[in-house]
Amino acid sequence: MPKHTIAHYHRNAARFQAQYDSVAAADVHADWASLLQGRTPGRALDVGAGSGRDALWLAQQGWQVTAVEPAQGLRERGQHATGEQVQWCDSQLPHLSDLDTPAQGYDLILLSAVWMHLPPSDRSQAFTRLVELLSTIGLLIITLRFGPSDPERPMYAVSVDELAQLAQSQGMVLSVLGEGESQDRLARAEVSWQTVCLHAAGSENA
């Protein structure tokens, strides 16, 4: 993620925390929350964890959560909100270095409102790294944002087709969740979302 984007989130951490926490995680992730039913909670990685809203939601369901957030202001607020229920790490895509990674990998990796911040030139490397971190039975959830960019935190075009090509190159299976694009939970008329789920071909998720 570009440094100026991280700096913007750091400087405006209080505003973004209030914005994120104004909507319940269960509502934001309604398209895929049902996938967790019947799964034994394991290790989860929340990439670009922001205020910690989603990480705490997962922890409260029994997941051992590592939250990655490169913006110091947001990370500190997230640490305060989640307490000892979530482990926090200062890292970022495409490398996601310095992670305390379990030997078997993460059973769930979440990228919520993150992919659009990655320059297209970084996405292949980022996707490869995410697949490396995923366990053989793990789920990778990525939400895609469609709408105008923001000069203070640039957003690049995203598509399901791009992710499908990356998935094919890594032997992953992609499923589009929900029915088409969903409305923005913050009621922004110009913004919509789509969620995809990826897992290894031949895994028990198939």
Q: What pLDDT score was predicted for residue 132?
A: 96
C-alpha distances (whole Å) from 168 to each of 15, 124, 143, 164, 205 are 38, 12, 18, 6, 16
> What pLDDT does residue 182 have?
67
Three-state DSSP at 40 gives: coil
Confidence label for 149 from pLDDT (cuts 50, 70 and 90):
confident
Q: Which residue has the higher pLDDT, 117 or 203?
A: 117
Tokens of 190: 């110009």
Name residue 48's beta-bridge partners.
none
pLDDT score at 188: 65
Mean pLDDT throughout 85-111?
95
pLDDT for res 181: 61
Parallel/antiparallel/unpaired status of strands 134-146 and 64-68: unpaired
Give the pLDDT of residue 94.
96
Which pLDDT tens digit goes with each residue over 5-46?
999 999 999 999 999 999 999 999 998 999 999 899 999 999
Interatomic CA distance for residues 204 and 184, integer angstroms:
32
| SS3 state at 187 | coil
Contact 115, 143 (CB under 8 A): yes
Say whether pTM exceeds 0.75. yes
Instruction: List CB contacts of 44: < 8 A, sequence separation 6 or more.
Output: 55, 58, 63, 64, 65, 66, 106, 107, 108, 109, 110
Mean per-residue pLDDT of the chain: 92
According to DSSP, the β-strands at 134-146 and 172-183 are unpaired
**Confidence band of 151 (pLDDT split at 50, 70, 90):** confident
Distances in Å between the Cα of 182 and the Cα atoms of 48, 74, 121, 194, 195 are: 21, 26, 27, 6, 9
Residue 151, SS3 per DSSP: coil
Question: 57: pLDDT confidence band, cut at 50, 70 and 90?
Answer: very high
